[in-house]
């Protein structure tokens, strides 16, 4: 017999070992997330996927599904919390969308759009962060890194390399690369590595590929991230989406 | 006929692109003018803000005059609106926040390429630069925010028509853009 739990009253089937996020994505229920990616070990750090499980707030991407759980996902309260978390991410980094090549294809921006985030609420830090343009084909803009660790995990778990890591704590947290010089050019990173493709923001970009799709015609300009995410995880037939927009996904730097 | 709704607009550390986008509501301006009268605005050339219902402010806060103007608007406008990326997060002018002010001035007026007769402008008429470019909400309370660089004409239209009709303004997904 199939085991189930409920999300917002809807019965969700699952098998033992699945997280709430796994089961939800499979059932076509979107839970906002940034650091989660179905191909990699969950990290549970961005907290966008916070849901209420039997009255307590948990991260859906790390919390195991179990029989009879009562999960609240799409509530005004939780979406309000998620908006505040997203605002914190925006004021902690330096996210100037109009001058970022990732605009329109950026998951941080798309989640903010999904949550109808119109302002930043908090005062900005305007921290000085560096660029690393040393690599011939890939560059890092630390201003846009949200420490989701997807590049860290993708490099280890998919590419069989160990290019990225996170160092420091709190406001001193930063992305580092595995080279004595600290420069990307001295790593074995290649532009077609999953670690490059998986970055949800404009922190890791491939050189000489910018602005091939005009602003206004990009992935999240016309499709909400919930639709994109569910289509990518295979829980709904992709034919449900206008094929004319499919071109926008060809950058390959989105969800699988 | 009831009193017209008074609207004031200004650009602080902005490029007037948001004002241009506002004017892109095109012939709907005529419809708007039936119910709205403009107070201080680059569109009217009125230079002091009187009591208003709505204040639309483009641009961030980069100098002492911006602070003065912003506070004048806050004092006079029942509803104050941060319009566009620069008003909301400082935008392009805020890219100077990562360079010490002295270095910015030295590059622009002393050591930059093609600078003749190098000197830092110091006329008493010139407003003093702030240490950083600030978004509006760090200086005064803002009631609403219209994101975009610039917000599209439809954003202005949706927001103003909602407000004028007495509805809580709502921007649907298609109108929310940060670029």
Residue of A90, A124, A219 to mutate when probing chain B, most B C-beta within 10 A? A124
Residues 6+ apart with CB under 8 A from A245: A219, A222, A223
In this complex, is the C-beta atom of A99 within 8 Å of any C-beta atom belonging to chain B? yes
pTM beyond 0.95: the answer is: no
The angle formed by the CA atoms of residues A234, A108 and B157, to the nearest 5 degrees, is 105
DSSP state of A127: -
Backbone phi, psi, residue A157, to 5°: -90, -25
Q: What is the pLDDT of residue A171?
A: 87
- Provide the number of CB pairs (under 8 Å) joining chain A to chain B: 67
CB contact under 8 A, B135 and A116: no
Length of chain B: 179
In this complex, is the C-beta atom of A98 within 8 Å of any C-beta atom belonging to chain B? yes
CA dist., res. B33 & res. A124, Å (int): 37
CA dist., res. B81 & res. B93, Å (int): 19
Q: Which residues of B touch A109 (CB under 8 A)?
A: 178
Interface of B with A in 40-69 (CB under 8 A): none
Q: Which residues of B touch A104 (CB under 8 A)?
A: 179
Given a contact cutoff of 8 angstroms between Cβ atoms, the answer to whether A28 and A72 are in contact is no
Q: Which residues of A touch B94 (CB under 8 A)?
A: 96, 124, 126
Q: What is the pLDDT of residue A234?
A: 76
Mean of the pLDDT values across residues B56-76? 98
CB contact under 8 A, A98 and B176: no
Q: What is the pLDDT of residue A242?
A: 37
Residue A30 parent element (H or E): none
Give the closest residue to A60 by CA, choosing from A33, A27, A28, A96: A33
Of B98, B135, B145, the CB nearest to A118: B145
Of A97, A114, A124, the CB nearest to B90: A124
Interface of A with B in 22-81 (CB under 8 A): none
CA dist., res. B100 & res. B130, Å (int): 11
Q: What is the pLDDT of residue A248?
A: 37
Spans in chain A with pLDDT lower than 70: 235-256
CA distance A135 to chain B (A): 24
Q: What is the pLDDT of residue B7?
A: 97
Q: What is the pLDDT of residue A94?
A: 97
Q: What is the pLDDT of residue A245?
A: 37
CA dist., res. A118 & res. B173, Å (int): 11
CA dist., res. B102 & res. B108, Å (int): 10
Domains of chain A: 1-127+214-256 (3.10.20.740), 128-210 (3.30.70.20)
Answer yes or no: is pLDDT of B10 > 90. Answer: yes
Domains of chain B: 5-97+130-175 (3.40.50.700)
Give the closest residue to A138 by CA, choosing from A103, A104, A187: A187
β-strand A174-177 against B144-146: which pairing, if any?
Answer: unpaired
CB atoms < 10 A from the CB of A137, how many?
Answer: 15
Mean of the pLDDT values across residues B120-149? 97
Answer yes or no: is pLDDT of B2 > 90. Answer: no
Mean pLDDT over each residue of chain B, to the nearest integer:
96
Residues 6+ apart with CB under 8 A from A39: A154, A157, A158, A256
Q: What is the pLDDT of residue A247?
A: 35
């Amino acid at each position: 017999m199939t085991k189930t739990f409920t999300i917002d009253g809807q019965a969700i089937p699952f098998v033992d070992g699945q997280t709430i996020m796994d089961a939800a994505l499979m059932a076509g229920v979107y839970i906002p997330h940034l650091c989660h990616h179905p191909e990699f070990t969950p990290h549970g750090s961005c907290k966008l996927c916070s849901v209420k499980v039997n009255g307590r707030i948990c991260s859906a991407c790390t919390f195991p599904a179990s029989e009879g759980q009562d999960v609240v996902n799409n509530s005004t309260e939780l979406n309000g919390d998620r908006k505040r978390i997203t605002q914190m991410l925006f004021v902690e980094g330096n996210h100037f969308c109009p001058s970022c090549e990732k605009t329109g294809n950026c998951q941080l921006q798309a989640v903010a759009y999904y949550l109808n985030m119109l302002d930043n609420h908090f005062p900005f830090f305007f921290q000085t962060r560096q660029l690393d343009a040393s690599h011939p084909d890939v560059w890092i803009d630390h201003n846009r890194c949200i420490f989701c660790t997807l590049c860290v995990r993708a490099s280890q778990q998919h590419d069989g390399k160990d290019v990225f890591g996170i160092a420091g704590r709190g406001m001193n947290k930063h992305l580092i690369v595995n080279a004595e010089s600290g420069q990307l050019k001295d790593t074995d990173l290649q532009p077609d590595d999953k670690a490059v493709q998986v970055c949800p923001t404009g922190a890791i970009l491939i050189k000489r590929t910018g602005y091939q799709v005009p602003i206004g015609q990009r992935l999240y300009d016309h499709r909400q991230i919930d639709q994109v995410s569910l289509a990518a995880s295979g829980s709904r037939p992709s034919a449900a989406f206008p094929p004319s927009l499919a071109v926008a996904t060809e950058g390959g730097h989105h969800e699988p | 006929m009831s009193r017209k709704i008074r609207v004031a607009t200004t650009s602080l550390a902005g490029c007037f692109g948001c004002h241009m986008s506002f004017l892109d509501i095109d012939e709907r301006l005529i419809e708007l003018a039936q119910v709205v009268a403009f107070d201080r605005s680059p569109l009217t050339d009125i230079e002091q803000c009187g009591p208003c219902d709505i204040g639309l402010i483009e641009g961030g806060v980069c100098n002492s005059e911006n602070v003065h103007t912003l506070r004048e608007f806050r004092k006079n406008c029942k509803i104050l609106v941060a319009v566009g990326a620069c008003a909301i997060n400082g935008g392009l002018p805020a890219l100077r926040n990562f360079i010490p002010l002295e270095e910015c001035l030295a590059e622009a007026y002393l050591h930059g390429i093609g600078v003749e007769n190098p000197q830092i402008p110091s006329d008493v008429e010139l407003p003093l630069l702030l240490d950083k470019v600030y978004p509006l909400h760090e200086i005064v309370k803002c009631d609403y925010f219209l994101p975009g660089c610039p917000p599209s004409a439809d954003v202005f239209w949706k927001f103003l028509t909602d407000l004028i009709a007495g509805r809580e303004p709502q921007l649907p997904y298609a109108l929310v853009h940060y670029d």
